[in-house]
Amino acid sequence: MSALIDEQPATLDNSLATLNSQLDELQRSPSALNRKIDCAIDWREVIDTSNDSFIATDASGVILEWNVKAEQLFGWTAEEAVGRQLVDTIFPPSEEAASTGGLKSLLSASSAGKRHELTARRKDLSEIPVEASVSMMRCGSSFVFNAFIHDITQRRQLQVQLTHAQKLESIGQLSAGIAHEINTPTQYVGDNTRFLQESLGDIFTALAAYEKL
């Protein structure tokens, strides 16, 4: 009986220690939760104020996040896009089979940190060239793929203009070379013709002077 009484204070002490520990954890939890909420709010502000379209998907390609720039670029609202398959939303129908394979390549660990140039499709079915920068992060037991995407139509147009200008420059150089080759023998013939005219003139003058003798 005495032993049992002696054990009770120790048991109570252990219980109190456990309760205090749990209370401390509960007191800390709101702060930790608030920090997570603050981080989530900051991350949302970064996404929404980004100059690029931001799209997040799960490993199977289902859209999880879709920012304001993505709405402007592709024409789908976030409410419409979230929950859809990425391949059905931004890939052209003509490339659907290739897009599925391209999506698997895009949503893979090897694609993380790389830039990919793709042909994308808007809601109105018009197509645009885009560049996507993909990153991957673990979320629980799965992965989430984040892509920042921007329109590279202007870059492509400048590339076409540069290529056209280079072709025109090459044609100009070729034309100048051909003209030089044509003008060189023409100039040679002209010079010799003038020489003959001058020489014949001298001969005729000499003959006329001889006849007068």
Strand bridging mode 127-139 / 63-66? unpaired
| Model confidence band, residue 33 (pLDDT cutoffs 50, 70, 90) | very low
Task: Report the distance separating Cα 53 and Cα 95, nearest Å.
Answer: 22
Same domain, 127 and 61: yes
Same domain, 166 and 193: yes
Report, as an integer, the average pLDDT of 13-23. 60
| E strand map for 50-191 | 53-58, 63-66, 115-121, 127-139, 142-151
Same domain, 64 and 144: yes
Q: Closest Cα to residue 129, out of 104, 101, 149?
A: 149
The total number of structural domains in the chain stands at 3
Q: pLDDT tens digit string along 172-207?
A: 666 666 666 566 665 655 665 666 666 666 666 766
Determine the structural domain holding residue 108 and report its residue range.
51-151
Same domain, 13 and 77: no
| Model confidence band, residue 21 (pLDDT cutoffs 50, 70, 90) | low
The CATH number of residue 62's host domain is 3.30.450.20
pLDDT at 102 over 60: no
